[in-house]
Amino acid sequence: MDIKSSLSELKLNLGGLTSRTSLFEELKAKDFHQSIKHRNILVYWVIAIVSVWLLIVSSILFLQGTSCVQLSDAVLITLLSTTTINILGLPLIILKGLFNKKDE
């Protein structure tokens, strides 16, 4: 009789472990789907920000070329340098953080 009670207690413990494991897997799946949703939103945000920034800089350069705006060489160099850094850096930092290896 002592063996039967131990066996039933072991079955109860294993049943609880199985339900906890399935709950953990369910929460892990929800987190994964939410992460994908946030990644998609941020990817579109990065595309929009970079596109708007390029449009603004292109407009400034066009106005400079048509002599509507007079900017010094130092200002133009700074503008183009920061644009290059933003175009390369912003997507790299954000997307590298989102699509890191440990999530796979």
79: Cβ contacts below 8 Å, ≥ 6 apart: 57, 60, 71
- The answer to whether residue 37 scores a pLDDT higher than 70 is yes
Nearest of 18, 38, 23, 7 to residue 103 by alpha carbon: 38
- Residue ranges of domains in the chain: 2-103
SS3 70: coil
Question: Could you tell me where the DSSP H helices lie in the chain?
Answer: 2-65, 73-98
pLDDT at 28: 83
As a residue count, the chain comes to 104
Quick one: how far is CA 8 from the chain centroid?
A: 48
Among 28-32, 63-67, 81-85, 100-104, name the one with the lowest average pLDDT: 100-104
pTM (predicted TM-score)? 0.62
* Cα-based distances in Å from 30 to 37, 40, 60, 72: 11, 16, 45, 54
Tokens linked to 94 = 């954000």
pLDDT at 79: 92
- The answer to whether residue 17 scores a pLDDT higher than 70 is no
SS3 101: helix
Q: Give 69-103 pLDDT, tens digit per residue.
A: 899 999 999 999 999 988 888 878 877 777 776 64
